[in-house]
Chains A and B, each alone.
Chain A
Amino acid sequence: MLRSSFTALRYRPEAVPRRVASRPRGGLLSGSGTPEARPQAPASSVAGSVASRVVMEADQIARACARIAHQILEANRGAHGLVLMGIPTRGVPLAHRLAQVMDELEGVRVPVGALDVTMYRDDLRRQPTRAVGHTDLPVDVEGSTVVLVDDVLYSGRTVRAALDALGDLGRPRAVRLAVLVDRGHRELPILADHVGSYVPTRTGEHVSVRLAELDGLDQVSIEPAGDPDLGEG
């Protein structure tokens, strides 16, 4: 696991900011070592970018979802007891896509829900009152294997909040984490089980995930300076 993490980080060392690449933080990153999991070659280097650049196109997102769905089923030895819980906003359509792939693969309908974490966030006091999203529990989480699904894994604080929120809904047998993009810069000891793509970023940048269900197209891009509220954590 450690080895593969380092491989992922050093895949294109010139694309990784020096202070990130030189920090011995491999233990915080993990996931599959398959080629798709590695950073996609960016059009320009991170250091020199000023404009938005695309790091995943629709076909790459589709392949990443398919692979994550495969991995979840493989790790769980089938779909038994699985529940996919998307974290609003963009984790929810992603969870539905994973369930769709699983249906095509194994012909099983894996329950999909939504887990809003707003009221469990640790930064509620730092900004005006945040709008609360929808929580939807398709089945009792007691004893099931819950896979949390989110678009971007960043500081890890959203996942921390999600674990607390889940704990108040019941006691799952196990909790796993699947994300489309891991952009690094963790602030908590959180690590994803299934990662679509590792995207090296700088802290000031914003990773923008667009999904057809909500935004009309599938695309992941890096914006030089963006709204820090959007789909990160």
Chain B
Amino acid sequence: MRHLLSAADLDRTEIGEILDLAEEMSLVQGRPVKKLPALRGRTVVNLFFEDSTRTRSSFEIAGKWLSADVINISAKGSSVSKGESLRDTVLTVAAMGVDALVIRHHASGAPWQASRWIDAHVLNAGDGTHEHPTQALLDAFTIRRHFRRSVPDLSGFEGKTVAIVGDITHSRVARSNVLLLKTLGAQVILVAPPTLLPAGIDTWPVLVCNDFDQVLPHADIVMMLRVQRERMAGGYFPTPREYTIGYGLTRPRLELMMPGAAICHPGPMNRGLEISADAADAANSLILDQVAAGVSVRMSVLYELLGGAE
């Protein structure tokens, strides 16, 4: 594996290896010395053209726990705000001799484009409305743990139903999850108002439903998506209150969930909009497990990319 650009690049075996290694990496969190020497002498640059808390910090922690040197560059406060192009910024950073570039960019395809320009490994940390592969991997890690198989293989996904609810149009998390869960053999149902479903949705390997209450009793995992107000020019739904009534995971809807079903949310949450506080803090909410998984999974991915010979 040279780059991680799309969840579609990973086959079942590779996903299994990444998740198994992430299980080993997760043990580091409980150790007195939270450091492994595997990436000593490697340099990882987080190049973030968009705001991020958990993705950037978990990539940073992951790199540091593997003993890599991690440098953060954000668009604010860098030459990007002086008008430097993506290509010049990427080539400049690469010219300093970095081993891996973790890129978040508001344009879909930016990490792929960067991977053509430079020799370093490129990791997609979210590109526009396209993909967010490490989020899909950490969701799969969290879901697999939730199913608590005695054998930690991938068979736990077969026959399971994952409902992804909300702003599908703008969600890179949804796209990467659809691709990854498809590879793992889970059934995905997308739930959204027609205005938040992208064109060409009929070609995706999923079921689509506009009625949340109809889907809820059949879902093993309910993955709520953030309503991305910064990407909306308005007109997708009449009022936030109406969105909540139709597609929010409210307290009454918790009653409709099947026993043993769990709640995911990639964060950051709009409490009271797509998810109620009751749902976010429910016993079957995996939201904080997802955050913890983020570090382990990103350690695993960094090791897979950078751990061996060039």
Contacts and interface: CB of A to CB of B under 8 A. Distances in A.
B151 interface: no
A207 to B, nearest CB: 25
B27 A135 contact: yes
Interface in A115-145: 116, 118-120, 124-135
Interface stretch (A2-10, A12-20, A77-85, A162-170): A162-170
A133 B36 CA distance: 14
B309 A119 contact: no
A126 B307 CA distance: 10
B304 to A, nearest CB: 6
- Majority secondary structure of chain A interface residues (helix, strand, loop or mixed): loop
B38 interface: yes
A127 B27 contact: no
Contact of A116 (B24, B37, B308): B24
Interface in A73-100: none
A125 B308 contact: yes
Interface string B234-260: 000000000000000000000000000
Interface string B66-99: 1000000000000000000000000000000000
Given A129-B303, A132-B21, A132-B303, A119 B37 contact: yes
Contact of B38 (A119, A134, A135): A119
A131 B308 CA distance: 10
A168 B308 contact: no
A231 B283 CA distance: 45
B33 interface: yes
Contacts of A131: 17
A168 B33 contact: yes
B25 to A, nearest CB: 8
Contact of B31 (A116, A118, A129, A168): A168
Given A132-B21, A134-B24, A135-B27, A124 B32 contact: no
B146 interface: no
B31 A124 contact: no
A71 B35 CA distance: 34
B64 to A, nearest CB: 14
A164 to B, nearest CB: 7
Contacts of B36: 119-120, 168
Nearest to A170: B32
Contact of A135 (B24, B35, B308): B24
Task: Rank and list the top 8 A-B pairs by shortest CB-CB distance, nearest first.
Answer: A129-B308, A119-B38, A168-B33, A129-B307, A128-B308, A119-B36, A132-B24, A132-B21
11 contacts: A119-B36, A119-B66, A119-B307, A129-B308, A132-B24, A134-B24, A135-B27, A168-B31, A168-B32, A168-B36, A170-B32
Interface of B: 17, 21, 24, 27, 31-33, 35-38, 66, 303-305, 307-310
Given A129-B308, A169-B31, 8 more contacts: A119-B38, A119-B307, A120-B37, A120-B38, A125-B308, A128-B309, A129-B304, A168-B31
